[in-house]
Structure 1
Amino acid sequence: MSWVSVVVVAVWAMLPAYVPNNAAVLAGGGRPIDGGRTWGGRRVLGDGKTWRGTAVGTIAGTALALALDALEPTVSDALGVTVPGFPMAAGVALALGAMLGDIAASFIKRRLDRERGAPVPGLDQLDFVVVALLAAAIAAPDWFADTFTLPVIAVVIVVTPLLHLSTNAIAYVLGLKDEPY
């Protein structure tokens, strides 16, 4: 597989995990998951992690996986690269895993006494990736093994922080986020 093919497969396969957090930002607001509770004198998660955002993000990522699955033959033919289809379990796992990864990162940040939106390099860019991949590996192990080869995972780890920083900067410029990172 050429490096271009690896990049195409990596980005395509991760789209259902890339979209949920952006959809959650657009859905915005609602009841915080932690209900305002604290642990050790700090919020468990904070106001930025809401039930509505989590639900909308998961639904958006899953819906995208279904759409990509339908488009897979056409896209593979058009690009000359075989992109993977998405079994339902994989689509849901990638989307929900991305949301859970972001929630886990918020929990960690609160334990580190970081305020909402405060950067934690590495954690901010890869939290959702690690949990999304783990969830997909558990929910759809054969699909995961066929799709996420070592070169594809390497590309995901390199490309994701670049995409994350770019989309956050755009959201900041559009007034959708309070910080550009």
Structure 2
Amino acid sequence: MRRILSIAARAFWAMLPAYVPNNAAVLVGGGRPIDGGRTWRSKRLLGDGKTWRGTLVGTAAGLALALLLNRLEAWIAATTDRSVPRFGRSALTLPFGAMCGDMAASFYKRRSGRDRGAPVPGLDQLDFVLGALSLTAILSPTWFRRVFRLPVVLAVLVLTPLLHIGTNLLAYLFGLKSEPY
């Protein structure tokens, strides 16, 4: 049980810079849509929900959190007797990749005729994870292989949907989202 908790904690720590961007983007909301209103085959490319402001603020929030976690790394290791990863280039690739994954899901939703905010179970919970992990694996492969070993990846894939559902429900209850998913 202790090993499982250790893996879950490592997965959570490693993914924190990817977990924050979409929440930060919701908080700042609005602004100019990334797609500029453009369409493809009579459907918006991304929709009004994907804005430059949200993408920049979300990425910056994830980067800032990664830098803060780097400052806390030695203290965490000393007080818990466990090592946690430091973020190098991944401080940027995780949050920006998360935003890109979310945009890719929006693009897919528009192509499949779904409205903004329409649920797609599985995709809604893991789109940003796939974006964050993919971009990080490409641009920071050594760090990625060291941190995201199979047990950690499995923990991310199990924990993320639970965290996603919980945070979306809270955002809905606080009036920050128009739907609870």
Length-normalised TM-score, structure 2: 0.97
> Which residue number in structure 2 is paired with residue 166 of structure 1?
166
Q: Distance in 1 between matches of 2:141 and 2:74?
A: 22
Q: Deviations over 1:66-95 (max 9, x none)?
A: 1101101111222222111111x1110001
Show the counterpart of 2:140. 140
Counterpart amino acid of residue 7 in structure 1 = A
Mapping of 1:1-181 within 5 angstroms? 2-87=3-88, 89-181=89-181
CA-CA distance at 1:118 after TM superposition: 0.3
Per the normalisation by structure 1, the TM-score is 0.97
* 1:139 Cα deviation after fit: 1.6
* Deviations 1:16-42 (CA, angstroms, capped at 9, x unpaired): 000000000001000001111111111
Q: CA RMSD in A?
A: 0.9
Structure 2 CA distance for aligned equivalents of residues 178 and 42 of structure 1: 22
| DSSP-derived class of the 1:2 partner | helix
The AA in structure 1 aligned to 2:9 is: V
Q: Deviations over 1:42-77 (max 9, x none)?
A: 111110000000000000001110110110111122
Please list every run of 5 or more consecutive structure 2 residues that lacks an aligned counterpart in the other structure. Answer: none
Hey, what's the Cα distance between the residues in 2 that align with 1:102 and 1:79? 34
Aligned pairs, how many?
180
Runs of at least 5 residues in structure 1 that lack an aligned partner in the other structure: none
SS at match of 2:175: coil
Counterparts of 2:139 and 2:77 in 1: how far apart (Å)?
24
* Deviation for aligned residue 1:135: 0.9
Tell me how far apart the structure 2 counterparts of residues 58 and 161 of structure 1 sit (CA, whole Å).
Answer: 21
